[in-house]
């Protein structure tokens, strides 16, 4: 046992309110293994990790508990929680015996220092090396974390590196003093899926060669299945279940664990509809078409380069790609929020009349925008915090003169009910609602004008898994009830697989492949699609057991 945590309780005091972030949590971490702490936002998983190193945010206090850390087998155990947070003992442990990597690799590195500067500083402080020795060792560390041309990279600044490279550098810094325990707090959440796969491979490899133990914090069940030996499931500050990874995934005991596993898009897909609305033998009616679309920003950045696809009435078309692939820009062109540099975007209205979106006049554009609506990614910034739900949802009605007087309230109430919110809450402000509820408000605002085509731009990416499942179900139910067509933009292939009829894959502003979901996932035609699919961590530990 390298780490044995018992009855850890951490609270946050803020003005007159107290939040119990971690509530009598106990777990242990056998030497040389990985323990994954998994939970949704606010479950206390990060606070648990930070409590161990006593690096809590202001207001946080460890109320009681022990965390026995045994650096070397047979060696002396130290209770981490009994050490003075500012004292020399904990500082000797932090970074030296236990080190940590964080979610935002870019934000964790100072833009004022080179990669070499970061590494040399750590090595000199903790190991007392001189400058030349530290430099040489830094180069070896970079080589170890798989950075090509490590000598040249030592003089690079963080902003010259990609996110994945930065995370490798962070890992190199974390490994600099040959720690016994590595705490990784959502280390791959901010990365693209192919980059994530590479970082996870790297951590695996390092764990094996360096005899590291790892505490891995994540919300992603796929990642858990991939990296963990044991798992602790957290909810509202409690560990609800703690066990071997195989048992957690295949024989979950606690209801919440079952609920989490049931929220996985793959599990949830079984319940989704089976019939595709697009008949295979006849040409279905199109609702929109993108033809040879180019978007260039400032004459230099080519965001979209020659993309063409059709959207059929009644279907859900998934648009997937990693960051910078141009998928969001394409979506913005469809709602005329972005002017294309060249190419055509056509929309067919309910009467079958054809409209060129890029060339619409002011009035026609206003009309189009009631029929083609957008659902935004971030449930926190997409609602004006100073307006009540009524005003937010009614705004499109008022602006477009679609309803008057009492009818407005009636329609807002109905819209709230449709998305599963209580109509009585229409006079409340957005801050009173959770992320999932806010996303429902977003959907209500999009649907209030009775649109035909809805662009959902990463509409569920910011949500916790269980909430995500509810929102996806809601979207699908609404599609069936209202005959909606979706363009579903996402980086998350598992979600896309679960709800889309067809999928278009984008990379570097180009369309890589378009196919029906089943065909694309079972038989990808392009190398990139295959790479993308392979990179997605599958939430089943047995697949990684070998």
Partner 1 sequence: MSTSTNEAVLSQSRLVWRAFKRHKLAMAGLVVTVLTYLVVVFAGFIAPYDTEHFVADRTYAPPQALHLFGDDGFGPHTYGQRATQDPETLDITWTTDTSRRIDIGLFVKGSEYSVLGLTLDRHLIGPVDPSQTVYFLGSDRTGHDIASLMAYGARTSMTIGLLGVAIAFVIGITLGGISGYRAGKTDTAIQRVIEFFMSMPTLPLWLGLAAALPTDWSALQRYFAITLIVAVIGWTDLARVVRGRFLALREEQYVTAARLDGSSAARIIRRHLLPSMSSHLIASLTLSIPGMILAETALSFLGLGIQAPDVSWGVLLQESQNLRAVTTAPWLLLPGLAVIVVVLALNFLGDGLRDAADPYSR
Minimum Å gap between C-beta 400 and partner 1 is: 5
Closer residue to partner 1 (CB): 258 or 366: 366
Return the residue of 108, 133, 400, 461 that touches partner 1, per CB under 8 A: 400
Q: Is residue 13 near partner 1 by the rule CB under 8 A?
A: no
Count of C-beta atoms within a 10 Å radius of residue 338: 18
What the block records as the tokens of 312 is 């059929």
Q: What angle do CA 443, 449, 452 make, to 5 degrees?
A: 80
Closer residue to partner 1 (CB): 366 or 477: 366
DSSP notation for 508-532:
TTEEEEEEEHHHHHHS--SHHHHHH
- Looking only at residues 15 through 34 of this chain, which bind partner 1 when binding is defined by CB under 8 A? 15, 17, 19
- Residues 415-444, one symbol each (x = binds partner 1 by CB under 8 A, - = not), give ----------x-xxx-xx------------
Minimum Å gap between C-beta 408 and partner 1 is: 14
Closer residue to partner 1 (CB): 222 or 435: 435
What is the 3-class SS of 368-384, one letter each residue? HHHHEEEECCCCCCCCC
Q: Is residue 374 near partner 1 by the rule CB under 8 A?
A: yes
Q: Is residue 282 near partner 1 by the rule CB under 8 A?
A: no
Region from 137-145, 243-251, 257-265, 382-390 binding partner 1, contact rule CB under 8 A: 382-390
Phi-psi region of 499 (alpha: psi -120 to 50; beta: other; left: phi over 0): alpha
- Looking only at residues 349 through 368 of this chain, which bind partner 1 when binding is defined by CB under 8 A? 365-366
Cα–Cα dist 312/278, whole Å: 7
Phi-psi region of 54 (alpha: psi -120 to 50; beta: other; left: phi over 0): left
Q: Are 154 and 162 in contact (CB under 8 A)?
A: no
Count of alpha carbons within 13 Å of 124, Cβ hemisphere only? 13
Return the residue of 23, 189, 370, 461 that touches partner 1, per CB under 8 A: 370
Minimum Å gap between C-beta 345 and partner 1 is: 15
Nearest of 487, 488, 511, 529 to residue 306 by alpha carbon: 511
Instruction: Using DSSP bridges, classify how beta strands 34-38 and 213-218 pair: parallel, antiparallel or unpaired.
Output: parallel
Return the residue of 216, 256, 312, 376 that touches partner 1, per CB under 8 A: 376
Minimum Å gap between C-beta 442 and partner 1 is: 8
Minimum Å gap between C-beta 428 and partner 1 is: 5
The string over 111-150, giving b where at least 16 C-beta atoms fall within 10 Å of a residue's C-beta and e elsewhere, is eeebbbbbbbbbbeebeebeeeebbebbbebbebbbbeeb
Phi and psi for 211 in degrees, rounded to 5?
55, 50
Minimum Å gap between C-beta 15 and partner 1 is: 7
Phi and psi for 139 in degrees, rounded to 5?
-60, -40
Minimum Å gap between C-beta 17 and partner 1 is: 5
Closer residue to partner 1 (CB): 99 or 439: 439
Q: Is residue 385 near partner 1 by the rule CB under 8 A?
A: yes
Closer residue to partner 1 (CB): 1 or 399: 399
Q: Is residue 377 near partner 1 by the rule CB under 8 A?
A: yes
Residues that bind partner 1 (CB under 8 A): 15, 17, 19, 335, 337, 365-366, 369-370, 373-374, 376-378, 381-387, 392, 395-396, 399-400, 425, 427-429, 431-432, 445
């Amino acid at each position: 046992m390298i780490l044995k945590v018992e009855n850890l309780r951490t609270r946050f005091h803020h003005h007159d309110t107290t939040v119990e972030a971690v509530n009598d949590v106990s777990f242990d971490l056998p030497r040389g293994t990985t323990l994954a702490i998994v939970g949704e936002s606010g479950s206390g998983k990060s606070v648990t990790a930070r409590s161990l190193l006593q690096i809590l945010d202001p207001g946080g206090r460890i109320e009681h508990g022990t965390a026995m850390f045994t650096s070397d087998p047979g060696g002396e155990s130290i209770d981490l929680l009994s050490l003075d947070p500012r004292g020399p003992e904990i500082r000797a442990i932090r970074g030296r015996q236990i080190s940590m990597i964080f979610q935002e690799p870019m934000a964790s590195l100072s833009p004022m220092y080179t990669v070499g500067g970061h590494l040399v500083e750590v090595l000199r402080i903790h190991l007392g090396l001189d400058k030349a020795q530290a430099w040489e060792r830094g180069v070896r560390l970079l080589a170890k974390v798989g950075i090509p041309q490590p000598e040249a990279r030592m003089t690079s600044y963080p902003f010259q590196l990609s996110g994945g490279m930065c995370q490798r550098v962070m890992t190199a810094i974390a490994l600099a003093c040959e720690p016994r325990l590595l705490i990784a707090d959502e280390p791959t959440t901010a990365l693209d899926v192919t980059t994530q796969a590479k970082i996870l491979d790297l951590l695996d490899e390092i764990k094996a060669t360096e005899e590291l133990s790892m505490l891995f914090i994540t919300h992603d069940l796929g990642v858990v299945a991939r990296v963990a030996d044991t798992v602790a499931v957290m909810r509202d500050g409690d560990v609800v279940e703690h066990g071997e990874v195989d048992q957690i995934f295949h024989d979950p005991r606690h209801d919440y664990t079952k609920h989490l596993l049931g929220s996985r898009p793959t599990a949830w897909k079984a319940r989704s509809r089976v019939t595709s609305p697009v008949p295979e033998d006849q040409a279905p009616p199109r609702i929109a078409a993108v033809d040879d679309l180019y978007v260039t920003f400032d004459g230099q950045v080519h965001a979209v380069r020659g993309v063409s696809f059709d959207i059929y009435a009644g279907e859900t078309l998934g648009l997937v790609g990693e960051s910078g692939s141009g998928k969001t820009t394409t979506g913005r062109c469809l709602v005329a929020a972005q002017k294309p540099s060249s190419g055509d975007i056509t929309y067919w209205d309910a009467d079958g009349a054809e409209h060129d979106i890029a060339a619409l006049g002011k009035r026609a554009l206003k009309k189009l925008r009631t029929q083609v609506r957008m659902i935004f990614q971030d449930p926190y910034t997409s609602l004006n915090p100073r307006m009540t739900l009524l005003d937010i949802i009614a705004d499109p009605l008022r602006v477009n003169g679609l309803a008057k007087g009492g009818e407005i309230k009636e329609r807002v109430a109905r819209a709230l009910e449709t998305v599963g919110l209580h109509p009585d809450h229409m006079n409340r402000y957005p801050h009173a609602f959770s992320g999932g509820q806010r996303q429902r408000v977003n959907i209500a605002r999009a649907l209030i004008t009775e649109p035909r085509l809805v662009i959902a731009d990463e509409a569920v990416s910011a949500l916790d898994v269980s909430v995500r499942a509810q929102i996806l179900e809601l979207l699908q139910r609404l599609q069936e009830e209202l005959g909606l067509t979706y363009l579903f933009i996402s980086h998350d292939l598992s979600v896309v697989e679960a709800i889309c009829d067809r999928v278009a894959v984008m990379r570097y502003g180009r369309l890589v492949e378009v196919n029906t979901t089943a065909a694309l996932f079972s038989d990808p035609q392009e190398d990139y699609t295959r790479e993308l699919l392979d990179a997605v961590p599958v939430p089943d530990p047995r697949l990684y057991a070998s």
